[in-house]
């Protein structure tokens, strides 16, 4: 059952209260005035599509959970990893993973050990750091297991290379397939929290 904006506002308020967030804190996270959040929760202001994703991310749920049939709130609170890839495809929201990979590659392109496995380890560490600090997921991947992340990263890198966004570099002595970005990452598409956690993950994995 598709929800009206009144129902969405009620859902947002319920989830916000269960997470112990004030309207001011939620408004800060989604970069809207508090008065706008008040009106949205009251159902007197419709939420724009691009704002729905921000609400979902701030509340630690998938976009589908926010706008589709009602599900138990506890399910969203207790999930170890929140899956958003299906709803991204359904609503035409692009996956953030390619942009994350462009950022990681732009920072590690000079490292001969920065093959697919190392890149996947950085993404996994960024997911862990982001979940600990802010809750929710960063890359939009369905699973958080290391092998699942590595498979998704390898697949996405190949797709980006085929699209001309990356250049394949032979592994050389290390034998690790490497990639060089052909374009800059879109930093405006990343939240400050995402940028910080990715940079921390790059630094952390470099010391291992």
What are 114-161's pLDDT values in tens digits? Answer: 788 899 999 999 988 888 877 767 787 766 677 888 988 999 999 999
Percentage above 70 pLDDT, the chain: 76
The mean-pLDDT minimum among 9-23, 147-161, 170-184 falls in: 170-184
Task: Give pLDDT, residue 88.
Answer: 41
Task: Give pLDDT, residue 173.
Answer: 61
Rounded to whole angstroms, how far apart are CA atoms 125 and 129? Answer: 6
Nearest residue to 11 (alpha-carbon basis) of 56, 54, 51, 53: 56
Task: Give pLDDT, residue 207.
Answer: 67
pLDDT tens for 20-63 read 788 888 998 888 888 989 998 888 888 777 788 888 888 888 77
**Interacting residues of 179 by C-beta distance below 8 A, sequence separation 6+:** 105, 157, 160, 161, 166, 167, 168, 169
| Residue 92 banded pLDDT, cuts 50, 70, 90 | very low
Task: Give pLDDT, residue 54.
Answer: 87
Task: Give pLDDT, residue 122.
Answer: 93
Domains of the chain, residue spans: 5-81, 97-206
Judge contact between 181 and 107, C-beta under 8 A: no
Percentage above 90 pLDDT, the chain: 17
Task: Give pLDDT, residue 11.
Answer: 84
For domain 5-81, is the CATH number 1.10.260.40? Answer: yes
């Amino acid at each position: 059952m598709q929800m009206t904006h009144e129902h969405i506002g009620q859902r947002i308020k319920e989830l916000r209260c269960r997470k112990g967030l004030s309207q001011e804190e939620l408004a800060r996270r989604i970069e809207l005035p508090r008065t706008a959040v008040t009106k949205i929760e009251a159902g007197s202001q419709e939420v724009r599509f691009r704002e729905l994703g921000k609400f979902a991310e701030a509340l630690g749920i998938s976009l589908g959970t926010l706008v589709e049939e009602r599900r138990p709130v506890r399910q969203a609170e207790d999930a170890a990893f929140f899956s958003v890839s299906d709803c991204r495809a359904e609503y035409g929201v692009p996956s953030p993973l390619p942009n994350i990979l462009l950022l990681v590659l732009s920072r590690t392109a000079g490292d001969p050990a920065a093959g697919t496995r190392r890149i996947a380890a950085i993404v996994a560490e960024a997911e862990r750091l982001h979940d600990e600090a802010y809750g929710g997921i960063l890359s939009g991947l369905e699973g958080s297991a290391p092998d699942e992340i590595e498979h998704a990263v390898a697949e996405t890198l190949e797709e980006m290379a085929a699209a001309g966004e990356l250049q394949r570099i032979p592994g050389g002595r290390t034998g690790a397939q490497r990639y060089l970005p052909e374009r800059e990452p879109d930093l405006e598409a990343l939240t400050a929290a995402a940028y910080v956690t990715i940079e921390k993950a790059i630094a952390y994995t470099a010391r291992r």
